Chains A and B, each alone.
Chain A
Amino acid sequence: MTTLAMQRRRATAGRVWKQFRGSKGGMIGLGVLLLFVVMALAAPLLADARELSPVFARAQGNPQWAPPSEFAPLGTDYIRRSVWAQFVWGSRVSLFVGLAATVLTILIGSVVGIIAGFVGGRPDAALMRLTEWFLVIPFLPLAIVLASVLGRNVWNIIFVIGVTSWPSTARLIRAQVLTVKQRLFVDRARSLGASGSHIVNHHILPNVMGLILANATLAVPISILTETTLAFLGLGDPSAASWGKTLEEAFVNGALSRNAWWYFVPAGLGILAVVLAFTLIGRTLEEIANPRLSRSR
């Protein structure tokens, strides 16, 4: 890549950031997200990982089902574990699965969308048929079925979310590729003898990148909520407890009838905050990438 192109790209990034800073919702979302990312990264400093083990909790002499007033800061659960420790360490799993699944979703969706849009013809028709089929199959039941046949571990869950949620991304990107393909600079590159892969890498990709990024940000909430639901239905990884897993354990072990709100409120609020943050950021990016969408005229 030439330095000229680099400079241009840096200027674009600067412009996007300037527009982003002007959006109140986007900045709030970014702030909330940073808070949770810091919490996930600093988990070992915030809570001892050993507190996740019921054996350790018992040895510590923790009380059972203790409300926050008796056991700071968030009380304990049915096997005496600190809810705070579960909240802090759960943020790691929820964020990681959400992000990794989104990366997979965007990867599949982009590859399918770019191939379909750029190559056109029969491959396009075939890929779009496949996309349509995947759009029709109800997403959550498919994820449930896949997760229950594949088994319960983090990587399977990431895989399941990735292969079930790529179709809408593929469609969106194909449409964008089709419009970029019409632009003059693509014709010019081709008449100068550029190969297909050169055109995709140097002309198509840079122009759909913004949309891919905005779409990725909006796909994270779906990934996180799907992971939460799968975990709640008992399909979560037993060795890596996410926020959804906490909700499941709280529900299964009767936290509701005990009114043990401290057990399931924090995890739910965490999911809500992270999902809302990504939605706000994604909507702002989308408006920047596609000003016609602007929702708050």
Chain B
Amino acid sequence: MRVSPRTTERVAVGVLWVLASITFSVLAFILTYVLVHGLPHVTWTFLTRGPASMGREGGVLPMIVGTFLVAGLAVLIAAPIGVATAVYLTEYTREGRLTATIRFGADCLAGVPSIIFGLFGFVFFAITLKMGLSVLSGSLTLALMVLPTIIRTSEEAIRSVPYAFRDVSYGLGGTRWQTVTHVVLRSALPGISTGIVLSLGRSISETAAVMLTAGSALRLPRSLFDSTRTLALHFYILSREGISMPNAYATASVLIVAILALNLFAYWLMRRFVAKVGR
């Protein structure tokens, strides 16, 4: 017996709907679970005080500061390098063995587990370059880790700028550099910033790599050479060592809300920018 196309269509819609809602409900479940357990413990004191007795008491202010320092610095380091690499690969060189090698290298780098980056950062930045367990070691390590993402997303964004735009710019007497900066990067900016925001989110939530490079100090970092503990790592230590589950969930809630707020802010910024450019 043949199934009518209409039935197939209905079944397909149904199956797709179920699968999509599974994805969504898993996400919703995790978020609600963490927030329900954590938010009640997020008080003003929790946000503005340092921890006491290993985090059993007190708050997470040093971790908030540490997280944004490490992640922000990582992206500040990785973004210019990554975007420049993408520009070189797409606009300044012919496709060839060199570009293939760089691209292959970036893809391999993207697949390396973060703990390996952590180990490398520990050996290279912390020990060999004598930076110790510090904000700087941590952010340099994270920068290496998110570099492939920034390169690849920027490359895609740059490639999606219509070739005709470049023709117009060259035709009006633009040099390669003028064309890249005025037309290509300007048009690719939304895509590039998406990659950068993704990388920032990944840096904020990274645990293994920062544990080995930024350390786990509880104090507020005074300089880039101070050790610090990020929110993600604090959560890991609180729960893993059974110090305080309520505070662990509270920390997780702060982390989730921070990432959410960051994404919203980034989208707002991007839309404002696009509106301004497209005026």
The answer to whether A and B belong to the same complex is no
